[in-house]
Amino acid sequence: MATSTTPSSAQLVQASVRRRGARVVLAVYWPALAIVTHWPRLVVEIESFPPGVIDKLIHFGMYGGLVWLLIHAVLFGGTRCGNIITSGLVVCGYAFIDELSQPLAPFGRTFDLADLIADLAGCMVMAAAIWTWPGVTRSGKTTAAAVDRGAFVGQAIVVGFFTFVSRITGLLRESALGMVFGVSGVSSAFMIGFIVPNLFRRLFGEGALSSAFIPIYSSQLRRDPAAARRLASACVALLFTVLGGVVVIGELVLWAMLIGRQWSADASLAIRLAMTMLPYMPLVCVVALLGGILQVHGRFGSTAATPILLNLVMIGGIYLCLGGTTEPRTSIFVIAVCVLVAGVVQLIWQIVATTATSPLTTSLRGTAGPLRSMAWTMLPMIMALSVFQLNTLLDVLIAFYFSPKAGGGAMMNILGRQVNYPIRSEGAAAALVFAQRLYQFPLGVFGIAIATAIFPALSRAAAKKADEGHNSANSDGLRKILQRGLRLAVFIGLPASVGMILVRVPLIRIIFEYGRVEEKDVLLIAVVLFGYATSVWAYSVVHVLTRAFYAVKDVHTPLRISVAMVSCNFCLNLTLIWFLGVSGLAWSTAACAVVQVIFLLRAVSRHVKSPVDRTVRRSWLKSAIMTLVMGVVLCPIVFRVDVYAITKFQAGLLLVAMVTMGVCIVGFVAWRTKSEELTWLFNRNGA
């Protein structure tokens, strides 16, 4: 548990002096930064560096410095955590305003996406570095009672903040990737190659292993901290060894596939990219396991910030490919190598954070029993937690297989018959992944953040219920935590679903319509995104319910439901693509998510009495009402404005206006209907 110490008078005086000094510097620094970024034709170059590199590094450093000054000036009061979140968001917002305002000023400046990426990168890296620095964000004491009554809401805000930052950088990464390589066979091949190690990360690192590890580690930590430390060390060593062996086997299998038959140019490229990026898998899985250790100790920020490092390294690699004369099928390997570099950087980041919180040990005495228990728990979890990831993988593979490819024919062979491809776009897999990145943005920021933060609280409540004889008080505590998770998931997810549908076209234009991405590609991504976005709320609820089953150590029920959903999704995929094209894959995934919610809700009632009682139903009704009001107000704007006919700058203004209006409408209706969820989101302790 976190502890609280009282600062001495000397420390308070020093903090006050530093705060006043930061305010004085900030008063000069911020106006100077605004002048410099708007000054006509001000670009810094050094001949020995590639064009633009020094200028972007200066942007990165200047905005990182602005975040540092704003945090230390403590302009917003409250806790240290609140200062970091508020300061980071304020400076990120200012970065957008600064870049968008440059074409409006009479100084001959233009909007530069690379400048904006460098600005946001500086903001995010500085905020993440300060947050994860040992001892910085310990803003008070988090007691077991606070956790039991719902302190996970505050932890979800922490995870949500850094996930928000990582999703922003992820969208910038995908935007830059589309700008350089387009919605093409090359980008589709990269998506296939990258999704293989990414799937293992989600299954082992963030999924089954973490879900099996956290309850056992929490129990060990409560009884014997030294034994818990040895268990964590054994898990890290075993995971790295086993997955290292998996990489060797995987490389041999991919090499055999490559030489075993004649592939199209795109398929061959996808296999070679998968071979290049497969070693990223053990690195990122160990990173995720170290994150599980930190989460049990109440440290969520470091783990949530690690994807930011991957995105920034990849953006740097994509930037190196800008303006180059190298053929795209060759330069894409630069990005693949950047993925491996990012894996090493992420691992070092997590090792530093873990060493400061709970350092590992070389002693593995007495870990065999807990490891066996974890292994037996993890095996069914791999399939149960993997339904979302497997559905995503199936979508991309089917989109790639059932669409035309460079170096292949105009028709495909099915059971000896030549038929037209049901998916006509060569870059269908890339369009599908771009759409997934967009709908996963609110899912990751809110839905997965809630599920990640609620899991330790559920595990602790379930352990108390088991230790103290299943008494009604602890059963009620477990039920209340789950109900809060369900209410928050729908409260945020339902408006996010409708909002994503309404703003999808201007959103796609702003993020992806650069370089080789054309209007037809925007249309394709928008059609796919419509299907996925309908069930953002359902994906969020699935994550919360699955964590509830694992907290009570029931891994078989979600396993059976998951297997059924994977089979259902596969059959729907192969059916709908012949009628809806690539968007049929999105609609299939969305439909299966809704069905999975229904089955999980019915099954969880065996462990938690009345998980959906009158209060939950009333909360969901209020969420539906505020979503309906938002949709009624925003729909006329969508139908009256031709988003394809306006300029990109106007589309950006429309996007900002609609999102602002939507958030204000939802907040106002939630306030008028006295929704408790609104209070929870602004109260870190969830009281």
pLDDT, tens only, 272-317? 998 999 999 888 888 888 887 887 777 776 777 788 888 888 888 8
Residue 25 vs residue 654, higher pLDDT: 654
Q: Where are the alpha helices (DSSP H) in 77-112?
A: 80-101
Confidence band for 202, pLDDT divided at 50, 70 and 90: low
Same domain for 558 and 416, yes or no, is yes
In a domain, residue 4? The reply is: no
Q: Report the DSSP pairing between strands 411-414 and 417-420.
A: antiparallel
Q: How many domains in the chain?
A: 2
State pTM to two decimals.
0.67
**pLDDT of res. 137:** 46
Same domain for 626 and 651, yes or no, is yes
Phi, psi of 51 (to 5 degrees): -55, 130
Residue 42 pLDDT exceeds 70: no
In a domain, residue 686? The reply is: no
d(CA 208, CA 388): 13
Residue 579 pLDDT exceeds 50: yes
Q: Which of 103, 125, 140 is the last residue of a domain?
A: 140
- The parent domain of residue 338 ranges over 141-681
Torsion angle defined by CA atoms of residues 322, 328, 331 and 333, in that order, rounded to the nearest 10 degrees:
130
Same domain for 152 and 122, yes or no, is no
Same domain for 306 and 266, yes or no, is yes
> Residues near 504 by Cβ (< 8 Å), separated by ≥ 6?
438, 526, 529, 530, 533
Residue 452 pLDDT exceeds 80: no
**pLDDT of res. 77:** 44
Q: Which of 103, 121, 140 is the last residue of a domain?
A: 140
Phi, psi of 417 (to 5 degrees): -110, 140
In a domain, residue 312? The reply is: yes
Q: Which of 110, 125, 140 is the last residue of a domain?
A: 140
Same domain for 637 and 667, yes or no, is yes
Q: Give the number of C-alpha atoms closer than 13 A to the C-alpha of residue 466, restricted to the C-beta side.
A: 12
How confident is the model over 386-405, as a mean pLDDT? 76
- Burial (CB count <10 Å: 0-12, 13-18, 19+), residue 623: buried
How confident is the model over 94-116, as a mean pLDDT? 69
Q: Name the token pair of 230.
A: 């040895």
**pLDDT of res. 475:** 61
Residue 122 pLDDT exceeds 60: yes
Closest CA to 276 of 339, 328, 331: 339
Judged by DSSP in three states, 50 sits in coil
How confident is the model over 465-494, as a mean pLDDT? 75
d(CA 304, CA 130): 14
d(CA 541, CA 486): 6
CB 342 within 8 A of CB 318: no
Confidence band for 590, pLDDT divided at 50, 70 and 90: very high
Q: How far is CA 368 from CA 174, 219, 331, in A?
A: 43, 16, 46
d(CA 175, CA 528): 17
How confident is the model over 357-368, as a mean pLDDT? 75
**pLDDT of res. 9:** 64
Q: Name the token pair of 671.
A: 């306030």
Same domain for 21 and 159, yes or no, is no
CB 399 within 8 A of CB 432: yes
Same domain for 522 and 636, yes or no, is yes
Greatest mean pLDDT range, 20-34, 91-105, 363-377, 604-618: 604-618
d(CA 477, CA 461): 7
Closest CA to 121 of 263, 407, 316, 270: 316
What average pLDDT does the chain have?
77
How confident is the model over 51-70, as a mean pLDDT? 75
Same domain for 514 and 487, yes or no, is yes
d(CA 245, CA 624): 49
Same domain for 108 and 169, yes or no, is no
**pLDDT of res. 324:** 58
Q: What is the pLDDT of residues 151-168, one digit of tens each?
A: 555 566 666 667 777 777
Same domain for 132 and 146, yes or no, is no
Q: What is the pLDDT of residues 593-612, one digit of tens each?
A: 999 999 999 998 888 888 88
Amino acid at 550: Y
Torsion angle defined by CA atoms of residues 502, 504, 505 and 509, in that order, rounded to the nearest 10 degrees:
140
**pLDDT of res. 141:** 41
Q: Name the token pair of 317.
A: 């690699």
How confident is the model over 551-576, as a mean pLDDT? 85
How confident is the model over 428-444, as a mean pLDDT? 82
Confidence band for 80, pLDDT divided at 50, 70 and 90: low
Same domain for 557 and 650, yes or no, is yes
How confident is the model over 666-683, as a mean pLDDT? 81
CB 630 within 8 A of CB 499: yes
Same domain for 111 and 221, yes or no, is no
d(CA 283, CA 6): 39
CB 158 within 8 A of CB 300: yes
In a domain, residue 1? The reply is: no
In a domain, residue 3? The reply is: no
Phi, psi of 8 (to 5 degrees): -75, 170
Residue 627 vs residue 515, higher pLDDT: 627
Confidence band for 463, pLDDT divided at 50, 70 and 90: confident
